Amino acid sequence: MYRKICLNVALATLLGQPLAATAATDADLQAIREQIQQLKQSYEQRISQLEQRLQQAEAGSKQAQQQAAEAQATAQQTLTQPVIAAPPSGSESAFNPAIAFILSGTYGNLRQDPAVPATGFAMSANNPGYSKGFSLKESELGISANIDPDFRGVATLALAPAGGVTVENAFVQTASLGHGINLKMGRFFSGLGYLNEQHAHVWDFVDQPLVYRTFWDNQTGEDGLQAKWLAPTDMFLELGGEIGRGRGYPGTDRNKNGTGSSVLYAHIGDDIGIEQSWQAGVSLHQTQRVNAISPDASNPLLNDSFSGDSRTAGVDFVWKYAPNGNIADRYLKVQGEYFQRRLSGMLTYDTAGLNVTDNYSNTQNGWYLQSVYQFMPHWRTGLRYDRLDPGTANVGALNAANIVANFGYLPSRTSVMLDYSPSEFSRFRLQLSRDLSRQGLPDNQIFVQYIMSLGAHGAHQY
């Protein structure tokens, strides 16, 4: 089969190329000669005209001098050479990559301990990214440059406030494959959903939506490969697939051949006139959780362990509106995402004590809907509503008395924010949240945040 395709490719190229080549040698060559002749004549004419004008100008008044200057400029430019070529710098630093550094800090005023997970999501990730009082957020160092004509490299290092550096992103991507194909390899944020790929400094709120916190540990990343294909259509249509190690939550990092996770997604999008634009997508994610330890939902002093499959499906959309399409002035953005995850496998209750293992399966879902409105240049306000559904678990008979199957509670949260950006590179934010994600522990939260970026001017995704 493969050979047949190769043969076909070769055949088609052979068929296509010589045709084009012979065509070029016959009729086109004559045409090109004529064109060159015409060009030469017209330039010679023009240059002689300009010379005349120069002479006139030298003789004449102040106004004539101006014309001469213009003529001189035009004479130069008839050569259609760039006026300024980038001055070649002798030093090695001329090839230094673009470096951007993000500084961010938060003040949080919370009544409840943020370490308590949302009701029914004890087995999920819970890293809110904020704490009581003043805290430095991760400082982010981004480095990127073209490696050679074919590849571009990107690294994002996160400097944790407590010390230590983690590699958030480190990937190379192709730059010249053509046909709308982009490949990435290394460590990257998955292209699923809408928010997942966006870095923390462009988030519209202090924290990620609850569904991202619990389902994706804020942002899911992989060590692996990503392939994207952009269809040659008038409307934006992009298909993407990823395979990876499985290290990103909800996967489990382990030493094993093959792939530990796979993702498929599609995005479509378009403009509606000059003022509106939109994008919508669907995503599928699949991985395995292996010996994933988490505190028990009803007794946090005990640990449970789960091994099994995780399958997630999601839909996302975003719609933006700006009067005259001018986002510098005012704009409105509405976005929402929904994810549903099915976990099925074996759950071990109280790993250190009773150690009872039986079947466990559960389907959980979560969504958010948010809107951000820039009501005047530099000032924005936003509203977000979060909702989670912990589902009703199917618990094997051995664990029926140990594991809570149904919590009968739907965690939710409402947040409002106001932010001010003195320039493109700095932002201050105030956020208030009414957090009802934990049953019996309602919380009113106040956050004040700054986000600043220094260095290279970043370009942001839609």
Quick one: angle between helices 29-59 and 62-77, nearest 10? Answer: 160
Helices of type H across 217-336 = none
Q: How many residues bind other proteins (CB under 8 A)?
A: 78
Q: 166 vs 82, 138, 219, 244, CA distance in Å?
A: 44, 10, 14, 18
Least spacing, CB of residue 36 vs other proteins, in Å: 9
Least spacing, CB of residue 136 vs other proteins, in Å: 22
Closest CB to other proteins among residues 107, 319: 319
Within 27-46, the residues that bind other proteins by CB under 8 A are 28, 31-32, 34-35, 38-39, 42
Closest CB to other proteins among residues 269, 295: 269
Could you say whether residue 454 binds other proteins (CB under 8 A)?
Answer: yes
Within 91-150, the residues that bind other proteins by CB under 8 A are none
- Torsion sign across C-alpha atoms 146, 152, 153, 154: positive
Q: Name which position in 101, 229, 338, 385 contacts other proteins (CB under 8 A).
A: 229
What residues form DSSP beta bridges with 444? Answer: 434
Neighbours of 313 (CB within 10 A): 17
Q: Name which position in 30, 77, 109, 166 contacts other proteins (CB under 8 A).
A: 77
Within 271-290, the residues that bind other proteins by CB under 8 A are 271, 274, 277-279
Within 81-100, the residues that bind other proteins by CB under 8 A are 82-84
Q: Name which position in 58, 70, 113, 253 contacts other proteins (CB under 8 A).
A: 70
SS3 264: strand
Q: Of the listed pieces 26-34, 125-133, 294-302, 350-358, which binds other proteins according to CB under 8 A?
A: 26-34
Within 194-213, the residues that bind other proteins by CB under 8 A are none
Closest CB to other proteins among residues 196, 433: 196
Residue 146 is encoded by which pair of tokens? 């073209």
C-alpha span between 254 and 263 (Å, rounded): 18
Q: What string marks each residue from 159 to 198 as x (binds other proteins by CB under 8 A) or -?
A: --------------x-xxxxxxxx----------------
**Class of residue 226 by CB neighbours under 10 A (exposed 0-12, middle 13-18, buried 19+):** buried
Within 425-444, the residues that bind other proteins by CB under 8 A are 425
Q: 116 vs 79, 291, 366, 392, 440, CA distance in Å?
A: 70, 21, 18, 21, 12
SS3 377: coil
Within 293-352, the residues that bind other proteins by CB under 8 A are 320, 324-329
